């Protein structure tokens, strides 16, 4: 019965090509070796035979010895190997090698504590150093963006990939550890009928081959036009009605032609929806807790510490991809984790303070702040960086007229504007990246959501030419017989049977990763970024 266990042990060990778990030299990763060598006590690997599979980051050939830096993507720090000139003859930057030798302590004064005295090295994938685009010296982010498939081989991008992986895992822990059984992770659809935000900047799908022919409705693979999702919120509400509290991390798509470091056409959105949720404070409290808890878990992880300790461009000659030289990331994280409760300010108060800043403090904006005009990025930056000294801030209760149809009205006492004019929503602003998350209570009452849809022009006229159209009255008492909910009927349906007060939020996952990493452009935080005019590789 246990045959498979032995088999798997062998097979899985062979992943790293050491034929059995007990074979010598032991195949290890650079992170394991370097970590073991950093402890105060004597290194357990000292004088042991070890083996590493990795890429040559640099090689320096001298008369009597050659020195190579090996990296296997497990840590930013390279492993130092010392070789005889003959062993190093075929080595060049970028080459993939299997290298084994004895892990020797270095004499004091050397930069590293240990080095690998090479016994054997095999080049399994050669590299032409003359053409290899990745170099040890600083390379501009613009240049590296043109070769995303190789950019991943820079130490900083490699670290970012491991950091993202840790975030993905810790997110699962964050949501599981919430009270009362935690949140359920769901996978809502990517192909959808509706444009959640109503902005119309969506990608349309066609089954391949249909592009150049004339398209009619009947050509559509799904019988009617379908789009790539811009948000999973509507579907999360369907899940939350049954499951209570749900979350998802899914790709979303926006066909925006904006050319900013804050926007991508494809990005990951972290969304959550909570049923039986009655007030906006509970929702902002959830967001605050979630992000603090995530940051704390990342802080406690080795890769988090590696990110915080890494030398940045400008501090060393090494390429980093981060353009935040001198930034104190550790302070940024500490403020998130342990700082005082994040500020809440209503939209109306924010506008008043912005106007006051213009009138009394000489602040100047390209767009003068007005209550009807919403917040531009310049306003958001002023709110978070000047008015709140760089602390995270929730701006709540925006005008109904500039927000989507599904938001619930502001609650009495939490709205300092005319009743009915604002909705129970928030945007979370962080320094530098500005808006990183947004959410709201949802209108959960059937007559009210239908009235909202009517006001927002989302209800169509039922084609009276269609005599087969079923009468709408039995199912939808709040509709006139000529009104048609179209592709949003299922969403209204959710309010028809057992709809409790609920709310949720969406967080730009890549933007938040950028904030934690000190990377100011999302184009450098996503390995293969897609934006207007660019989808290389």
Alpha helices in 259-371 (DSSP H): 280-299, 302-309, 329-338, 347-361
CB of 122 to a second copy, least distance (A): 10
β-pairing verdict for 184-185 and 79-83 = unpaired
Residues in the chain: 537
Residue 89 contacts a second copy per CB under 8 A = no
With contact defined as beta carbons under 8 Å apart, do 322 and 312 qualify? yes
Peptide bond into 193 cis (omega under 30): no
Is-contact 517 249, C-beta < 8 A? no
Return the structure tokens found at 164.
């993202």
Closest distance to a second copy from the beta carbon of 67 (Å): 18
Q: Is 469 in the site for a second copy (CB under 8 A)?
A: no
**Residue among 103, 156, 227, 347 that touches a second copy (CB under 8 A):** 227
Q: Binding segment for a second copy among 91-99, 108-116, 366-374, 431-439 (CB under 8 A)?
A: 91-99
Tokens of 150: 């190789």
Residue with tokens 């949140």: 183
149 binds a second copy (CB under 8 A): yes
Closest C-alpha among 314, 201, 251, 324 to residue 506: 251
**Residue 296 C-beta: closest distance to a second copy, Å:** 11
Tell me the backbone φ, ψ of residue 170, rounded to 5 degrees.
Answer: -70, -30
Q: Is 463 in the site for a second copy (CB under 8 A)?
A: no
Q: CA distances (Å), 36 to each of 29, 51, 56, in order?
A: 11, 15, 21
Residues in 235-264 at the binding interface with a second copy, rule: CB under 8 A? 235, 238-239, 241-245, 250-251, 253, 255, 257
Site for a second copy in 427-446 (CB under 8 A): 444
Q: Considering the rule CB under 8 A, would residue 120 count as an interface residue with a second copy?
A: no
390 sits near a second copy (criterion: CB under 8 A): no
Which of 45, 12, 214 minimizes the C-alpha distance to 115?
Answer: 45
Q: Could you say whether residue 471 binds a second copy (CB under 8 A)?
A: no
Select from 273-281, 354-362, 398-406, 424-432 the region that touches a second copy (CB under 8 A).
Answer: 273-281
**Which of residues 84 and 496 has its CB atom nearest to a second copy in the complex?**
496
Does residue 187 interact with a second copy by CB under 8 A? yes
Report whether 262 contacts 434 (CB < 8 A): yes
Q: Which is nearer to a second copy, 105 or 190 (CB)?
A: 190
Do strands 245-253 and 184-185 pair parallel, antiparallel, or not at all (unpaired)?
parallel
**56 scored as a contact of a second copy (CB under 8 A):** yes
Stretch that binds a second copy, among 68-76, 357-365, 375-383, 408-416 (CB under 8 A): 68-76
**With respect to a second copy, which residue has the nearer C-beta, 126 or 401?**
126
396 forms beta bridges with 346, 426
Angle formed at CA 428 by CA 512 and CA 277, multiple of 5 degrees: 110
Residue span binding a second copy (CB under 8 A) among the ranges 38-46, 78-86, 131-139, 461-469: 131-139
Residues 489-508: x where in contact with a second copy by CB under 8 A, - otherwise, as a string: -xx-xxxxxxxxx-------
Q: With binding defined as CB under 8 A, does residue 300 bind a second copy?
A: no
Residue 201 makes contact with a second copy by CB under 8 A: yes
Residue closer to a second copy, measured from CB, 127 or 346: 127
Under rule CB under 8 A, residue 318 binds a second copy: no
Q: Would you tell me how many other CB atoms lie within 10 Å of the CB of residue 467?
A: 6
Rounded CA separation 101/115 (Å): 9
| Rg of the chain (C-alpha set) | 28
Query: Which residues ranging from 395 to 424 are in contact with a second copy (CB under 8 A)?
Result: none
Task: Please list, residue by residue across 91-104, b when 16 or more beta carbons sit within 10 angstroms of its beta carbon and e when fewer do.
Answer: bbbbbebbbbbbbe
The angle formed by the CA atoms of residues 172, 288 and 525, to the nearest 5 degrees, is: 60
Q: Give DSSP secondary structure letters for 228-289.
A: E-S-SHHHHHHHHHHHSEEEEEEEEE-------TT--SEEEEEEEEEES---HHHHHHHHHH
Instruction: Closer to a second copy by CB, 118 or 284: give it.
Output: 284
Please tell me whether residue 135 binds a second copy under the rule CB under 8 A: no
* Contact of 90 with 76, CB cutoff 8 Å: no
22-30, 400-408, 449-457, 478-486 -> range binding a second copy (CB under 8 A)? 22-30
In the list 402, 463, 469, 475, the residue contacting a second copy (rule: CB under 8 A) is 475
**Among positions 20, 23, 44, 215, the unique one binding a second copy when judged by CB under 8 A:** 215
Q: Which of residues 164-183 bind a second copy (CB under 8 A)?
A: 164-165, 168-169, 172, 176, 178-181
**Residue 188 engages a second copy in binding (rule: CB under 8 A):** yes
Least separation in angstroms between CB 317 and a second copy: 21
């Amino acid at each position: 019965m246990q045959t498979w266990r032995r088999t798997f042990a062998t097979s899985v060990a062979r992943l790293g090509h050491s034929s059995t778990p007990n074979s010598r030299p032991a195949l290890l990763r650079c992170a394991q070796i370097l970590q073991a060598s950093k402890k105060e006590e004597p290194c357990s690997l000292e004088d042991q035979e070890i083996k590493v599979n990795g890429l040559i980051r640099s090689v320096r050939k001298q008369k009597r010895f050659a020195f190579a830096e090996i990296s296997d993507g497990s840590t930013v720090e390279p492993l130092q190997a010392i070789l005889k000139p003959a062993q190093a003859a075929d080595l060049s930057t970028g080459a993939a090698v299997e290298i084994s030798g004895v892990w020797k302590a270095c004499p004091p004064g050397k930069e590293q504590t240990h080095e690998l005295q090479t016994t054997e090295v095999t080049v399994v994938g050669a590299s032409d150093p003359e053409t290899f685009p990745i170099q040890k010296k600083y390379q501009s982010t613009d240049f590296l963006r043109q070769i995303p498939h190789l950019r991943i081989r820079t130490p900083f991008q490699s670290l970012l990939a491991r950091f993202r992986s840790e975030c993905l895992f810790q997110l699962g822990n964050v949501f599981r550890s919430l009270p009362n059984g935690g949140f359920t992770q769901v996978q809502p659809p990517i192909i959808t009928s509706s444009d959640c935000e109503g902005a119309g900047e969506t990608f349309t799908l066609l089954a391949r081959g249909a592009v150049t022919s004339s398209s009619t409705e009947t050509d559509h693979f799904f019988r009617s036009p379908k789009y790539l999702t811009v948000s999973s919120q509507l579907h999360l509400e369907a899940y939350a009605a049954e499951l209570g509290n749900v979350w998802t991390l899914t790709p979303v798509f926006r066909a925006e032609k904006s050319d900013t470091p804050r926007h991508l056409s494809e990005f990951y959105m972290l969304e959550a929806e909570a049923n039986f949720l009655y007030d906006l404070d509970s929702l902002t409290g959830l967001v605050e807790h979630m992000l603090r808890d995530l940051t704390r878990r990342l802080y406690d992880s080795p890769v988090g510490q590696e990110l915080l300790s890494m030398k940045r461009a400008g501090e060393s000659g090494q390429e980093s991809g981060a353009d935040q030289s001198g930034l104190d990331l550790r302070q940024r994280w500490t403020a998130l984790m342990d700082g005082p409760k994040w500020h809440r300010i209503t939209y109306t108060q924010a506008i008043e303070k912005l106007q006051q800043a213009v009138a009394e403090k000489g602040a100047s904006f390209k767009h003068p702040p007005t209550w009807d005009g919403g917040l531009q990025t310049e306003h958001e930056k002023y709110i978070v960086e000047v008015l709140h000294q760089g602390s995270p801030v929730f701006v709540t209760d925006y005008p109904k007229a500039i927000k989507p149809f599904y938001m619930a009205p502001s609650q009495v006492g939490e709205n300092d504007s005319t009743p009915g004019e604002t909705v129970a929503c928030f945007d979370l602003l962080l320094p530098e990246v500005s808006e990183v998350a947004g959410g709201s209570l949802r209108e959960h009452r059937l007559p009210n959501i239908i009235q909202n849809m009517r006001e927002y022009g989302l209800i169509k006229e039922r084609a009276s030419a269609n005599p087969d159209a079923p009468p709408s009255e039995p199912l939808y008492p709040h509709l006139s017989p000529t009104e048609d909910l179209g592709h949003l009927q299922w969403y209204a349906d959710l309010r028809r049977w057992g709809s409790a007060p609920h709310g949720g939020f969406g967080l730009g996952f890549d933007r938040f990763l950028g904030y934690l990493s000190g990377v100011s452009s999302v184009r450098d935080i996503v390995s293969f970024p897609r934006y207007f005019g660019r989808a290389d590789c």
